[in-house]
Structure 1
Amino acid sequence: MPAAYERYLVPAVFRPFAEDLTVKAAALRPRRILELAAGTGVLTSTLLAATPSSEVTATDLNEAMVAFGSAQAPGATWRQADAQRLPFADGRFDLVVCQFGVMFFPDRVAAFTEVRRVLVAGGRFLFNTWGPLGTHAFEAALQAGLERAFPVDPPRFFPTVPHGYADPASVATDLTAAGFTVEEEQELTLQGRAPSTADLAIGYLTGTPVRGAVEERGDGPTVRATVTAEMTARLGPGPVTAPMTAYVFRAVA
């Protein structure tokens, strides 16, 4: 899964937003950065390049991602860690960053409280979260393809998890409950670019948790063909460019 995610999805979907977060992070001139849900290290790599004097610690709950990411971005210190129980001392970092990870936290207020604990007073928490599914053309087309492939009980991972925390007011409420003050909230739309919709379909079907749901439900090659056909009907065969919307938050401890 990490290899497919890195090959097919990182360049098209995640790198544009990693570059945006990196610019915002570097402007804060951090000395000690903690990254949560670092995945395969796309944000880690850009942070290392943009903040060469900073100490970067990258974490992920998934040990396979930590193993893969540590090879991609060896300049960081990598650790397996649960965002709700961070293995770091109080006030250890002056910046915590997270790219499209907060949606996965089972108890977001608990995780945000842990983030605040490991930040120095006045430290920042910088992260992004996807907007509604309909504002992400790639993933809206993917979900339509899944619903075509599985008319009964289609996988609902994308509407409920990646796009399941798409109300900025709810995010702000959770941050406040954890003791943060929201300094900035931005709605940001960037263009995703992929060489083909077939590549996108492969990436989503083999490099995300949808993989397991598809394998449980039916024949993989048939599903891939159906999803690719639906995505192509909506996006074209490629190269394809389409808008993706996220919300970016900066909060102070």
Structure 2
Amino acid sequence: MPETDREFAGSIPENYDRYLVPLIFESFAQDIAQRVAALSPRTVLETAAGSGVVTRALAPRLSPDASYVVTDLNQPMLDYAAMRQAADNRISWRKADALALPFEDAAFDLVCCQFGVMFFPDRQSGYREAKRVLKPGGHFLFNVWDRIEENVFANDVTNALAELFPGDPPRFLARTPHGYHDPALIQSELEKAGFSSVAIETRAGQSRAPSPRHPAVAYCQGTPLRNEIEARDADKLEAATNHAASRIANRHGNGEVAAKIQAHVIVAVA
């Protein structure tokens, strides 16, 4: 995985939260929060927290005496998440690498991670670390996107950029966010990391936006796809965004647009 696939800096965190979170992340964050709350954990670790959409959904559902540690490897994203979160003395914020967690063994009842493990350069290390910091019988709850063809706007944008850059198409979305979608592989890697029970559920939904430009900006300017576009031509970001918006409009109309999104939700027991 190129280093730029994990680079969320500059205006990306704000665009990510403004455009991408309501487009594809909000409903899955509510789902994760509901599942976590049903397990009634007292000590929770969130890894790869991004701009804090799960944190905002989960914090109100935890008990008053819970401890909630929110981490991300990317300091600009973590700073943005903390800025968006209401004051809460149960929450602590810490920059941390999910592959080398700075916590003691058996420190948490539950570890959660929304759409983050696809960015781990070594998933086995990430899974082993999650298991290490979990108490026996604790839960590791996370989700990953299904293949890009099941996530229509992401696929539309990828195809549009392939038209604009035919000799070297930007493939970030297919390669990383949608590149880890085989349930058998996920289960196998978790079992190799020592998890005793793995349940995987595929969950489909609808991605909605007020205009075709919204998903185009979300993906082209709110993810590391921006880095790929600008690496090919620093002056073409707006043209690339407009081309993606045009392709979405051609397929889905010029007003409010909607399309399928699909992900796998995984619960593993330590």
Give the match's secondary structure for 1:23.
helix
Where in structure 2 are the equivalents of 1:71-150 lying within 5 Å? 71-73=83-85, 74-75=87-88, 76-150=91-165
- 1:234 aligned partner, one-letter code: R
Residues 172 and 182 in structure 1, CA contact (< 8 A), matched pair in contact too: no
Q: CA deviation at 1:170?
A: 0.5
Residues 206 and 258 in structure 2, CA contact (< 8 A), matched pair in contact too: yes
Residues 10 and 42 in structure 1, CA contact (< 8 A), matched pair in contact too: yes
- 1:29 aligned partner, one-letter code: S
Residues 136 and 243 in structure 1, CA contact (< 8 A), matched pair in contact too: yes
Give the match's secondary structure for 1:71.
helix
Q: Deviations over 1:149-205 (max 9, x none)?
A: 111111110111001101011000110010002342101001111111201111211
Counterpart selection for 1:186 from 191, 194, 201: 201
Residues 226 and 237 in structure 2, CA contact (< 8 A), matched pair in contact too: no
Residues 136 and 244 in structure 1, CA contact (< 8 A), matched pair in contact too: yes
Counterpart selection for 2:254 from 219, 224, 237: 237
1:59 is aligned to 2:74 = no
Query: Who is 1:2 aligned against?
Result: 13
* Equivalent residue pairs, number: 253
- 2:196 aligned partner, one-letter code: T
Residues 19 and 43 in structure 1, CA contact (< 8 A), matched pair in contact too: yes
Q: How far apart in 1 are the matches of 2:22 and 2:241? A: 21
Give the match's secondary structure for 1:159.
helix
1:45 is aligned to 2:56 = yes
Q: CA deviation at 1:238?
A: 3.1
Give the match's secondary structure for 1:193.
strand
- 1:122 aligned partner, one-letter code: G
Larger deviation: 161-170 or 143-152?
Answer: 143-152
Counterpart selection for 1:34 from 45, 69, 72: 45
Gaps of 5+ in 1: none
Counterpart selection for 1:222 from 230, 239, 252: 239
Query: Who is 1:155 aligned against?
Result: 170
Q: How far apart in 1 are the matches of 2:109 and 2:35? A: 14
Q: How far apart in 2 are the matches of 1:203 and 1:8? A: 5
Query: Who is 2:187 aligned against?
Result: 172
Q: Deviations over 1:8-56 (max 9, x none)?
A: 1101110010011111111100101100110000001111011143221
Identity of aligned residues (%): 43
Q: How far apart in 1 are the matches of 2:80 and 2:107? A: 25
Q: How far apart in 2 are the matches of 1:120 and 1:19? A: 25
1:252 is aligned to 2:263 = no
Q: CA deviation at 1:100?
A: 0.3
Larger deviation: 192-201 or 36-45?
Answer: 192-201
Give the match's secondary structure for 2:130.
helix
Give the match's secondary structure for 1:191.
strand
Q: How far apart in 2 are the matches of 1:248 and 1:182? A: 14
Q: CA deviation at 1:246?
A: 0.4
Query: Who is 1:204 aligned against?
Result: 219
Q: How far apart in 2 are the matches of 1:238 and 1:43? A: 29
1:13 is aligned to 2:28 = no
Residues 42 and 63 in structure 2, CA contact (< 8 A), matched pair in contact too: no
Q: CA deviation at 1:70?
A: 0.8
Q: Deviations over 1:90-121 (max 9, x none)?
A: 11100000000000001111110000000000
Larger deviation: 76-85 or 228-237?
Answer: 228-237
Give the match's secondary structure for 1:111.
helix
TM-score by structure 1 length?
0.97
Larger deviation: 154-163 or 233-242?
Answer: 233-242
Give the match's secondary structure for 1:234.
helix
Q: CA deviation at 1:216?
A: 1.5
Question: Cα RMSD between the aligned structures?
Answer: 1.1
